[in-house]
Every structure is written in structure tokens, then in C-alpha cells.
A = this chain, B = another copy of it.
Amino acid sequence: MPAKYSKIGSIQQESDIARLMADALERPDILNLAAGFTDNASLPLNEVLSIANDLARENGGDRSILQYGTNQGRSGLREILSKRIEKADLKPEESYSASNVFIANGSQQILYLAVQTLCNPGDIILVEQPTYFVFLEVLRGLGVTPMPLPMMDDGDVDVDELRMLLDKLKDSGEIEKVKAVYLVSYYANPSGHSISVNAKKGIGHVLNEANAGIAVIEDAAYRELHFQAPNEVSSCLAIEDYENSPVLYTSTLTKPFASGLKVGYGYCSDRDWLQRMLSIKGQQDFGTSNFNQAILERGLEDGIFDVHLLSLRKNYHLKMKCLHEALGGELGALGWTWAEPDGGLYIWARSPNGMDTGFDSNFHRDCIKNGVMYVPGDLCFSLGGPSDRVRLSFGVLDLDEIEEAAYRFLEVAKRITL
């Protein structure tokens, strides 16, 4: 295209996801511990069909599920979702309102709309280290700077350091550019970490003290994918320290059920912000597939969704255990470390002695050569972060494949040491 089209955000570096996907496509023999895909064998095809058939049979077949829906999303579904967050947060009924909920094409679209409505190019969003790497791509695309949150060794934000950081930003005047804090709060992608109640309260408290109008984007995409008891920490919506902060809580009906349906949701405590996001959604697509929303609404209503989710939790627990044990003693003996996660889809491991496992490292190249793919951890840090981490997903492979993938990974780990 002509040179005049070069513009902010348009000269994109090739996206990291695109590079990983290209690797995967070129070598179909590669076992994929990289993709955040969901378990294939348990995808609820019969359940979805049975719901769709039910919907079609009733009322002589209500065809309107194939009609356009509204921009904000089906009111019945929004009602169910506000109650669902209420329940997860142990709040009394009617604490949350369906009018604050909106539906989107996966929670990804909500993250995009959030940044698009909050930020101008040059603005800043504070992010955990590590953080969800597609969110970093969103920021890059919109010309927004990700600023690292100070972290503690246990994976929580260092609240005291955060206070000092905000003070420093106030002194320099930069605070005006800081538009939000982005938190991945349950079984995070990539770290598997869940934010502790103290850290969560502390962040809210410090933001309130700073009184700088910094919004909070809480990404709870994996909240429902706990392996045993749910994490008992409330969302920011239910924590008093956030009362004066605009909070956007996002999650998805995709990963806990059927990713191919691509439906996510947001709960926004700030009506003005919500309206801005809806206004742009109106321009981007004026509403998410009404058919898919109707299927999920019914699945949530009649319990099919939750029955499936129960089995999915057990399934992912099993798969996590399988990967964890297959790497097990041997990788540990080589000096690799990782924590066993309580939920989510990922094991986040650290190489011994800071050995480079980044995109262009020998280790990464050798893994690809040896037929196993992972997400290089450096993609998940905002600014020249450490490149000695790997994200290993146990979502899409079956148990035999996970064992084989772990074996291939181990082979490389034994060969390449610092």
C-alpha cells in the first residue's frame, strides 16, 4: 500500500500468536503445549445440539434465536450472569444488576473495548508480571504503554511498592496518563497464580488513596476452571476498597464450555464507561451472535452448562496432574521449578540459572525441532522481562500426547543446560 497509510499502530510487528500458529501449521507432527485451546474430546457437541433442538421444539420453534439480537446482549443471559457473579462473590441477591452486564465475542473483545475507550496513544496501563500476552498485543496495537506492576516473589502485586510507584508518577505528572490497572485474578494465564485477598484489597486501597481515577480491568477468564474448591477471594466488584474505582470484570462462557461458541461477558460498575464500550461495540458489530447466546442462556438455565463444567474441572485436573508428573522428578532434578496450579490450563515453569528459553533461544528452537511447542515466557512480560520461563498448556492434548510432549521437552532440557 502507499506510504501514506503508515500510521500509529499499523506497522505491527508480526504477532506472536501468528508466529506460534505458523510454526504449528508447518509441522503438524509437533505436540502443542503452546495453544490455549480447550480439550477436544470433551467438547459438549451433544449437549449443544440437545439444547438447540430443545429451543427449536418449544413454542412451535422460536425462530427468533436466529434473528439479530441487541447490541448489549440477551437480557435473560445477562440476568443469569449477574446472578452467577453474585453467587461466586457470595453477595446477597440483587447486589449486581443485569443492566451492567454486556455480552461480547469472547472476553477478548471486552478487553479490547476497555482499552479503546480508556486510552489514547501514549497512555499507560499497569500490568502484572507476567501477564496475558494477547493483552500486551492489544496495548501495542492501540499505542498504549504497558507499565510493569511491582511484584513479590509469591506472584502477588507488591502493594507497598505500588504505593511508591503511584507517588512517583504523581510527582512526575505521568499519573494523568495512567488509565487502568489490568489484573488476571484467578489461575492466571500464564502463571496459574490467583491474587490473594490481601493483595487484592491492598491494590484497591492504594488506588483509592491515590485518587487518580485509575480504572480496574479484572480478567477472570479462568475463574470457573478450578480443579477442586473454588478460590474464595471475591472479585474486585465485591471488595469495598474498589468502591470509588471504575471496575470492569470480564469472563467467558467459552473456555468452561465450548470455545467455538465464542461468547464472553463483562460487568462494568461505571455506567459512563459501559456506555462508551457499548457505543463502540455498536460500531464494531452491533451485537454478538444471538443464536450462540440463546444456546448458552438455555444451557446455564437448565444446568447442562454446569454439569459439563463439573466434568471439565475433573478432566483438566487430571491433565494437569499428568503433565506435572510426566515432567516430575526429572525436570526438577535439572533445576527447573514450577508450582502446581489449582486451576486454569497452564503450568508456568522456570529454567535453571536463568537459562534462555525465549523465542529465539536455542532451547526454543530445539524444542520445535524435537516436536514440542511451548509459549516462551518472555512474551508475557511488558518490558525486557526475564526469558527463562515457559508456559506449558495441558488444555488441548490428550493424556498420551501430554506424556509424549513432556518426554520430548525433557529430552531437550537434559541436552541443553546452562
> Are B63 and A43 within 8 A (Cβ)?
yes
> Are B282 and A137 within 8 A (Cβ)?
yes
Q: Which of A152-160, A271-279, A356-364 is the interface stretch?
A: A271-279
B residues within 8 A CB of A283?
108, 112, 134, 137-138, 141
Query: Smallest distance from the beta carbon of A75 to chain B beta carbons, Å?
Result: 10
A213 lies within 8 A of chain B by Cβ? yes
> Are B70 and A1 within 8 A (Cβ)?
no
B residues within 8 A CB of A272?
1
> Are A260 and B141 within 8 A (Cβ)?
no
Distance, CA A279 to CA B43, complexed state (A): 28
> Are A273 and B43 within 8 A (Cβ)?
no
A262 lies within 8 A of chain B by Cβ? yes
Which one of A2, A46, A290 has the greatest number of beta carbons of chain B within 10 Å? A2
Interface size class of A (residues with CB under 8 A): 35 or more
Query: Smallest distance from the beta carbon of A359 to chain B beta carbons, Å?
Result: 17
Q: Which of A33-41, A234-242, A311-319 is the interface stretch?
A: A33-41
- Copies of this protein in the complex: 2
Distance, CA A285 to CA B112, complexed state (A): 8
Q: Which of A48-56, A90-98, A164-172, A376-384 is the interface stretch?
A: A48-56
B residues within 8 A CB of A71?
17-18, 21
B residues within 8 A CB of A280?
141
Taking a contact as CB atoms closer than 8 A, the residue among B21, B48, B53 that contacts A66 in the complex is B48
Q: A49-B52, A282-B17 are in contact. Are A260 and B5 (CB under 8 A)?
A: no
Taking a contact as CB atoms closer than 8 A, the residue among B44, B279, B290 that contacts A12 in the complex is B279
A10 lies within 8 A of chain B by Cβ? yes
Q: A61-B45, A287-B262 are in contact. Are A38 and B17 (CB under 8 A)?
A: no
Distance, CA A118 to CA B7, complexed state (A): 8
Which one of A65, A105, A112 has the greatest number of beta carbons of chain B within 10 Å? A105
B residues within 8 A CB of A43?
63-64, 66-67
B residues within 8 A CB of A105?
105, 284-285, 288-289
A340 lies within 8 A of chain B by Cβ? no
B residues within 8 A CB of A282?
15, 17-18, 134, 137
> Are A1 and B120 within 8 A (Cβ)?
no
Q: A5-B118, A262-B290 are in contact. Are A41 and B63 (CB under 8 A)?
A: yes
Look across to chain B and name the residue whose beta carbon is closest to the beta carbon of A258.
Answer: B66
B residues within 8 A CB of A179?
4-5
> Are A56 and B66 within 8 A (Cβ)?
no
B residues within 8 A CB of A141?
279-280, 283
> Are B66 and A261 within 8 A (Cβ)?
yes
Query: Smallest distance from the beta carbon of A225 to chain B beta carbons, Å?
Result: 15
> Are B63 and A40 within 8 A (Cβ)?
yes
Distance, CA A21 to CA B120, complexed state (A): 30
A407 lies within 8 A of chain B by Cβ? no
B residues within 8 A CB of A190?
none
Which residues of A, 212-265, contact B by the 8 Å Cβ criterion?
A: 212-213, 215, 246, 258-262
Distance, CA A217 to CA B121, complexed state (A): 26
A interface residue numbers (CB < 8 A to B): 1-2, 4-5, 7-8, 10, 12, 15, 17-18, 21, 37-38, 40-41, 43-46, 48-49, 52-53, 56, 61, 63-71, 104-106, 108-109, 112, 117-120, 134, 137-138, 141, 176, 179, 212-213, 215, 246, 258-262, 270, 272-273, 275-276, 279-280, 282-292, 294
Closest 8 CB pairs of A and B: A2-B213, A66-B260, A43-B63, A260-B290, A260-B291, A43-B66, A66-B258, A262-B289
What are 28 A-B pairs with beta-carbon distances under 8 A? A5-B118, A7-B120, A10-B276, A12-B279, A18-B279, A37-B67, A38-B68, A43-B67, A45-B56, A48-B52, A49-B49, A49-B52, A49-B53, A53-B53, A66-B260, A105-B288, A105-B289, A108-B283, A108-B285, A134-B283, A134-B286, A137-B282, A138-B283, A260-B290, A262-B285, A262-B287, A284-B284, A291-B292
